[in-house]
Amino acid sequence: MIISVGLLVNELLKYNIIIGVLAISLCNVELPKLIKAATMLTERHDDVGSVEISLFLKSTMVRWANTAILIFALNDTSNTISNGDVDSSRNLLAEVFTIFIGEITTSPILKYLDIVGNINRHILAPRSLSQSKMMTYFSGTPYYVAERYAVSIS
């Protein structure tokens, strides 16, 4: 899965660096959700701490692979620094800088906007047919400490 995401992102980076960076950021937001679901379904843990450690390690490895390792592996190493005859938008340093800025801005903005939570509270809750169903829409967005640490490390 990571390799296919990396190949897709590489093609998007060739097309337009901003679209590629947005794809990387969206993958880094959505892949931990898949990791969380897979971990909860396939692994058995005795306490919450072991679940958090497992999620942290997997999320960190996926983020590192998606953001840094695959970009370095799929990029032409002769284009590390731009010079006069190389396209300056397709060198490794420009891509890493743009990915860094994209990661700094996109993930916190998406977490702050909480699109799913706002849809639940402002669209679905007022249209629910029972009080108990409406109260389920007002529950907060769940978060895991492991995911927060993985975001800060990557």
Does the pTM of the predicted model rise above 0.75? no
CA angle centred on 66, ends 6 and 88, rounded to 5°: 75
How many structural domains compose the chain? 1
Label residue 28 exposed, middle or buried (CB < 10 Å: 0-12, 13-18, 19+): buried
Q: Tell me, what's the pLDDT at 2?
A: 65
The mean pLDDT value for 15-37 works out to: 82
Measured at the alpha carbon of residue 49, what is the angle toward residues 110 and 146, in degrees to the nearest 5?
A: 20
Label residue 141 by pLDDT band (50, 70, 90). confident
- Model confidence pLDDT, tens digit, residues 58-110: 888 888 887 777 777 766 666 566 555 555 556 677 777 888 888 888 878 88
Domain that holds residue 70: 2-153
Nearest one of 79, 97, 77, 78 to 20, comparing CA atoms: 97
- C-alpha to C-alpha distance for 108 and 78, rounded to whole angstroms: 33
Q: List, in sequence order, the alpha helices (H) in the chain.
A: 2-15, 17-42, 48-64, 70-74, 92-113, 115-119, 131-137, 145-153
Task: Say if residues 73 and 53 touch (Cβ distance below 8 Å).
Answer: no
